[in-house]
Structure 1
Amino acid sequence: MTISTRKRLLGGLVATSVVALLAGCASAPTPTSTESGAAGGAIDGFKPCMVSDAGGFDDKSFNQLGFEGLNAAADALGVEPVTVQSNSESDFAPNITSLLDQNCTLIVTVGFALASAAGEAAIANPDVEFVSIDDVVDNDFDGKTDADNIKPIVFDTSQAAFLAGYAAASFSEAKKVGTFGGMNFPTVSIFMDGFAQGVAYWNEVKGDTVQVLGWDTAAQDGVFTGGFDANQDAINAAQGLVDQGVDVLLPVGGPIYQSAASVIRDSGREIALIGVDADVFETDPTVGDLLLTSIRKGIDVGVNEAVTAAGMGEFDNTPFVGTLENEGVGLAPFHDFADKVSPDLQAELDDITAGIIDGSIPVTSYLNK
């Protein structure tokens, strides 16, 4: 099944599957200390491995976070991990096969796009454990993960993106903010939709009229580059939004933020950038001066916990979903923009966070519809 076919099928069915799966989701992953891992050691023959999505392990985003989590766990357990990078969709299945051929006992697949290949491999290799980042691996859409040897780790990033949208609306003087993504996958559009919901909430409580360009909430569609490379398509997408006058820009899709940063610098205007997945201020200081904040998801912590548990012989296939409540998602500090945002903003965001957690401020996503 191609990514595009999978995406179309997910449109009508993913919400039901995810809700059913996550009804009994695990508690938040917690970092495992090096001391405890080293003291316990790994079970005999444990060999953790990882396949990246396109973008590679140096994307300063979700692939890199997964890579860091894997290596932290492997170091603690005293084992040598094996990693393989994917350049395109056609690499996914062969890369997983190559890891199976190397006798990997745990395979972590990073990204929604690998779900089909991961599911097929897990079913065919029931003695190998799999961790799926950003997808529950329900390829037959029956409301269950396809195999008992798969642990899904997913993130309701719409909640943190809601906070980012509110902050963007507060910061914007142009009353126009923009967003664009790599491809219209649920794990990409969840950021864009949550961001738009946060802007709408700002408008509601403040009586303002800040516009969101690049995402249509009703149509659940927007501006996409067609891939996850920092290339001319990403530059064109960012330029189109900048030309319409936005002064805050949220690119969603690994390294495409680098293209947005170059457009912002060339514009000669003060336009704030919002990062995703990691705190991009920390992972890529070259764009730190542009960053209003970043929408974080704890991929590194989740991978570390899952690999460590498997390495100790305690693999747990219970799905984990990151939320504001369990700190699996969150908003990064304002860093260099701390003196530029409203002095009341952080307190407002704290109140909104509490409202999202207690349900008084609803945030919708494909994970909770």
Structure 2
Amino acid sequence: MLLFSRTMKRAGTGLCAWLAAGSMAAAFTACQVTDTGGIDDNSFNQTAWKGVLDAQEQLGISGRFLESQAETDYEANINSLLGGQCDIIITVGFLLGDATKAAAEANPDQRFSIVDYSYEPVIPNVLGQIYATDEAAFMAGYLAAGVSETGILGVFGGINIPTVTVFMDGFVRGAEYYNAQHGTAVSVLGWNPETKEGLFTNNFDSLDDGRAFAQNLYDEGADIVLPVAGPVGLGSAALADELGVEKLKIVGVDADLYYTDTEKQHVYLTSITKQMDATVMQVIENTMNDTFEGGNLVGSLSNGGVDLAPFHDMDALVPDSLKQELAGIRQGIIDGTIAVDR
């Protein structure tokens, strides 16, 4: 269990510095508990923490976080933040759902928000931050099907949980929609949205697994792979770097990995992004303004909560006609004429 209090730890830089003494007296404190991926996971923990950092800069709050080294740390980390020091406790990830629920119900006066999770029925002092990632993943699958040279795509997850498989569902269905529009037969290895069976590393931290799973999919013909496994995907990116992007390309998740995985940025065709920094900051503002309510805050294509990242170095590989199709698909998803969940 690692504690960093009131830091200015910049996402993606590794720089950690203490706030000036005057800032340490901030009247509002936002506290974050990560899952086992860690605060610098180039993924959702890091992006959520950026929301706290943005609030520090723009709203003058104080921020601190606890890193969970194992799932057994979740309850202890949350409990250690109770007692009035945190105006809002933000937990990150599906796996913290049970521990957050237990702490919230035992401490009804403490406000909580959980990233990538929601409760039914609503817990009055918990605001869930959830994302329609299948919308952006649908676009990514359509894009990948249009760019693939082999006609075979690959996908694998970290753990078989809804916040992972929602990416996989959208990706497969986007490729299927491409086939329906173009009369092609692009296949996706690694996931079946109907049977809910597929490939999972069963962890979010082994880069070796990321390399091995991507290698297996590549060996079966996939030239574009979507790893939905947090830092595990960095292993897939390392493999793509070694093979060369003409042989294997990667689709990132959560953050725009072109900016967060700078050493391997050239291997990313695009990323399926969740704007967790924006929703975290919105939750903080709501809490500061005393407009906090339990329930759900949903990020979608229509409100900018999810998106498909730019193609960056691979922009020239995406024909203008495909870009126009993607723009039409985006609008169709927003206005409801294209269903991503069938």
3-state DSSP class of the match of 1:54? coil
Give 1:64-75 correspondences, 5 Å limit. 64-75=46-57
Once the 2 structures are TM-superposed, how far is the Cα of residue 243 of structure 1 from its aligned partner? 0.9
Give the partner amino acid of 1:286: E
* Distance apart, 1:105 and its partner CA: 2.4
1:37 maps to none
The match for 2:338 among 338, 361, 366 is: 361
CA offsets per residue over residues 230-271 of structure 1, 9 Å max, x none?
A: 332222211111111111010012111111012223335521
1:45 Cα deviation from its structure 2 partner: 4.9
How large is the RMSD of aligned CA atoms in angstroms? Answer: 1.9
In the alignment, which residue of structure 2 is the partner of 1:108?
Answer: 90
Aligned-residue sequence identity (percent) comes to: 42
Q: Deviations over 1:301-330 (max 9, x none)?
A: 000111122123332334111111111111
Q: Distance in 2 between matches of 1:182 and 1:225?
A: 5
In structure 1, the gaps of 5 or more residues are 1-40
Indicate the larger mover: 300-309 or 162-171. Answer: 300-309
Question: What is the distance in 1 between the residues matched to 2:84 and 2:229?
Answer: 30
Asked if 1:133 is matched to 2:115, the reply is: yes
Which contiguous aligned blocks of 4+ residues in structure 1 show a shift greater than 6 angstroms? none
Q: Contact 1:177–1:213 at 8 Å: present in 2 too? A: yes
Selected match of 1:308 from 285, 288, 295: 285
The answer (yes or no) to whether the contact 1:234–1:256 under 8 Å persists in 2 is yes
Unpaired runs of 5+ residues, structure 2, are 1-22
Report what 1:241 is aligned to.
217
Deviation at 1:113?
Answer: 0.7
Q: Is the 8 A contact 1:71 1:81 kept in 2?
A: yes
Deviation digits for residues 35-82 of structure 1 (CA, Å, limit 9, x no counterpart): xxxxxx9x9853210100111010111000011101211333323212
2:281 pairs with 1:281: no
Residue of structure 2 in register with 1:346 after alignment? 323
Q: How many residues align?
A: 319
Sort the Cα spacing of 1:273 and 1:149 in 2 relative to 1 into closer, same or farther, 3 A: same
Q: Does 1:295 align with 2:272?
A: yes
State which of 109, 116, 121 in structure 2 corresponds to 1:144: 121
2:4 equivalent in structure 1 = none
Report SS of the residue matched to 2:77: helix
* Letter aligned with residue 290 of structure 2: G
Q: Give the equivalent residue in structure 1 for 2:134.
A: 158
Contact 1:74 1:308 in 2 (8 A): no
Say whether the 8 Å CA contact 1:122–1:128 is kept in structure 2. Answer: yes
Please tell me whether residue 90 in structure 1 is matched to residue 72 in structure 2.
yes
Cα separation, 1, equivalents of 2:237 and 2:259: 15
Aligned to 2:101: 119
Aligned to 2:166: 190
Aligned equivalent of 1:335, options 306, 312, 320 = 312
Q: TM-score, normalised by structure 1?
A: 0.83
Q: Which residue of 1 aligns with 2:81?
A: 99
Deviations 1:206-247 (A, max 9, x none): 000001011112211211101001332222211111111111
- Residue range with higher mean Cα deviation, 183-192 or 339-348: 339-348
Following superposition, the deviation at residue 123 of structure 1 comes to: 0.6
**Aligned equivalents of 1:302, 1:45: Cα separation in 2:** 21
Of structures 1 and 2, the one scoring higher in RCO (CA 8 A, sep 6+) is: 1
Q: What do the CA deviations read for 1:79-111 (whole angstroms, capped 9, x no partner)?
A: 321210012211100000111147322100011
C-alpha contact 1:48 1:74 (8 A) present in aligned 2: no
The CA distance in 1 between the partners of 2:28 and 2:66, in whole Å, is 18
